[in-house]
Amino acid sequence: MNTRRKFLQSSLFSSIGIVLTKKTLGASDSYPTVKGKPIVISTWDAGLNANKGAWNHLGKGGRALDAVEAGVMVTESEQSCCVGLGANPDRDGFVTLDACIMDDKFNCGSVAFLERIKHPISVARRVMEKTPHVMLVGSGAQQFAVAEGFTLEPQELSPDAKHAYEEWLKKSEYKPVINIENSKGHGPFAPSQFDNGEWNHDTIGMVAMDTDGNLSGSCTTSGMGFKMRGRLGDSPIIGAGLYVDNEVGAATATGQGEDVIRMAGSHTVVEYMRQGLSPEMACKKAIERVVKIKGEKAKDIQVAFLALNKKGEVGGYAIHKGFSYAVKSNDREELVKAKYVMD
């Protein structure tokens, strides 16, 4: 076939493709929607309160996107929690925050290494909705936030974080090795403020489905306490800390971010769901992959995944005991202890 014919044929096919695509995948009905009951799930105990914030939208027929933003804002505001500005600083004494958000149409936004802004999740949403980009970091992200009307908060540590930092400075140990996130776990990232046995987590991941059957997700964190300055984990990275495919499901991750990034954690969970696995089995297979990659060292780290599929089924899995997730729907409001692969 001569080149001109090939070109004509391929442009004919591609224009037919475009017509078909436009016809079958219109803006409002991009994918078959499952009209279902709304549901929201989020990581760790703080998820119980965060889910209530999400429910203010979901319970009234609101959008999953609004729900996942409002939900994690609750946690970002809680001084007693290690997610927002009240969280532990990096090893130079500064709190740096990371967050991302993703809707039902593959729109996503993310901020990382953001300082002095109370609600990084809302800045991430503005990045998604008001810029041609997906990620803004550091001073650029802060500049954008201020230009968007966010308040620049004072650069000071919360009393708990100040105490924890002072304690940490005594040894200044930096060993990003273990982060067993259970009530008794005390890795190098575990500050002494939790010596009472209570463990607060520095991350919340949330995924939700609304009454229209559309999915969205959010993830926000202060990262690991006493991290190297400039360190990012998985939480602001689309595909690692969070992924949403409205045709299939949504997933989020928590735990040692480095090990989630190297196997594109949340995206991997969604792909397993695409292959037909339930959310719990998809999370389990992804955890098994982390363990396989880490080998012997898997005993020293905690990673957990949490997922929701298009049918409204949920599930989570962790490497170690201690990961729990909060579920809220019309008929459920509870904290579920996730299964795990290693004792």
Please state at what angle helix 138-147 crosses helix 120-130, rounded to 10 degrees.
80
Which of 86, 120, 223, 315 forms a contact with ligand SD4 (CB under 6 A)? 223
Shortest reach from residue 253's CB to ligand SD4, in Å = 6
The 3-state DSSP class for residue 146 equals helix
Which range binds ligand SD4 by CB under 6 A, 34-42, 87-95, 114-122, 217-225?
217-225
**What are the angstrom distances between the C-alpha of 1 and each of 10, 11, 13, 117?**
12, 15, 16, 61
Look-up of token digits 């009240």: 86
Q: Which stretch binds ligand SD4 (CB under 6 A): 60-68, 108-116, 255-263, 327-335?
A: 255-263
Q: Interface mask (CB under 6 A) for ligand SD4, residues 256-275, using x and -?
A: xx------------------
Residue 201 binding ligand SD4, by CB under 6 A:
yes
Q: Which of 43, 75, 96, 203 is catalytic?
A: 203
Burial of residue 313, with CB atoms counted within 10 A of its CB: 0-12 exposed, 13-18 middle, 19 or more buried: middle
- The stretch near ligand SD4 (CB under 6 A) out of 108-116, 145-153, 201-209, 333-341 is 201-209
Given 122, 235, 252, 268, the residue binding ligand SD4 (CB under 6 A): 235
Q: Which stretch binds ligand SD4 (CB under 6 A): 62-70, 103-111, 229-237, 331-339?
A: 229-237
Closest CA to 224 of 252, 184, 191, 251: 191
The answer to whether 203 is a known catalytic residue is yes
For 189, half-sphere exposure in the C-beta direction (CA atoms, 13 angstrom radius) is 29
State the binding string over 53-72 for ligand SD4 (x if CB under 6 A, else -): --------------------
DSSP, residue by residue, 105-125: TS-EEEEEEE-S-S-HHHHHH
Give the span between the Cα atoms of 88 and 157, in whole angstroms: 8
- State yes or no: residue 255 binds ligand SD4 (CB under 6 A): yes
* Minimum CB distance to ligand SD4 smaller for 214 or for 305: 305
Quickly count: other Cβ atoms within 10 Å of residue 185's Cβ: 17
Chain residues in the site for ligand SD4 (CB under 6 A): 181, 201-203, 221, 223-224, 233-235, 254-257
